[in-house]
Structure 1
Amino acid sequence: MRVEDLDIGDIVYAATVITDDGSIPGGIEGEVLAEAGTRGVITMIGHIEEQPERSVFLVRFEDRELNLGNPIGCWAEDLIVEPRLVN
């Protein structure tokens, strides 16, 4: 299954470390928002006006206590469907 085929409520994982690119109001640019492999849930799917062909996924990632954090806008390439196994 591809990330693009997912829907609201589906589980995803951060493909890489996701950091604040400066677009989060009140956030700190460069702050780590989700470590690679962190589990999250899709809460909304949309598009931005400048690139209507690309989907933006709002994802709430779990913290260490398994609480869901604030929604983070992610591109499909920021997410994976299956967790990566750690050797």
Structure 2
Amino acid sequence: MSVRYDWGMRVRATVDLFNDGSHPGHEPQALLVKAGDPGEIVQIGEHVETDTPIYIVEFAQNLVVGCLQDEIEPV
């Protein structure tokens, strides 16, 4: 797995992020994070089957979202 970003890095969303069903407190397909919203990487995981890094990003109001590399960029 090749990671592009590090834990603790300040990032912003490059695209709108919608609920894929992993946030039961929000409606399915609800907008969770708008493109440009800032956040901080709090953990890095891996999708084992595809060897893809998943960045766990904490956005405003303690909203934690799993993001792909192309969905975030450094602030």
TM-score bracket relative to the smaller structure: 0.7 to 0.9
SS across alignment from 1:77: helix
Greater strand fraction, Structure 1 or Structure 2: 2
Query: What CA distance in whole angstroms lies between the structure 2 residues aligned with 1:47 and 1:27?
Result: 24
Q: Pick the aligned partner of 1:71 from 64, 68, 71.
A: 64
The share of aligned pairs that are identical, in percent, is 29
- Determine helix, strand or coil for the equivalent of 2:62: coil
Larger radius of gyration: 1
Give the corresponding residue for 1:57: 55
What TM-score, normalized by structure 1, do the two folds share?
A: 0.73
Deviations 1:19-38 (A, max 9, x none): 11122234321111111100
Structure 1 stretches lacking a partner, 5+ long:
63-67, 83-87
What is residue 27 of structure 1 aligned with on the other side?
26
The alignment covers a number of residue pairs equal to 73
Counterpart for residue 14 of structure 1 = 13
| Contact preservation (8 Å) 2:56, 2:64 | yes
Q: Find the aligned partners of 1:78 and 1:31 in 2 and give their Cα distance.
A: 17
CA RMSD of aligned residues (A): 1.5
Instruction: Work out the CA distance in 2 between the residues paired with 1:73 and 1:5.
Output: 15
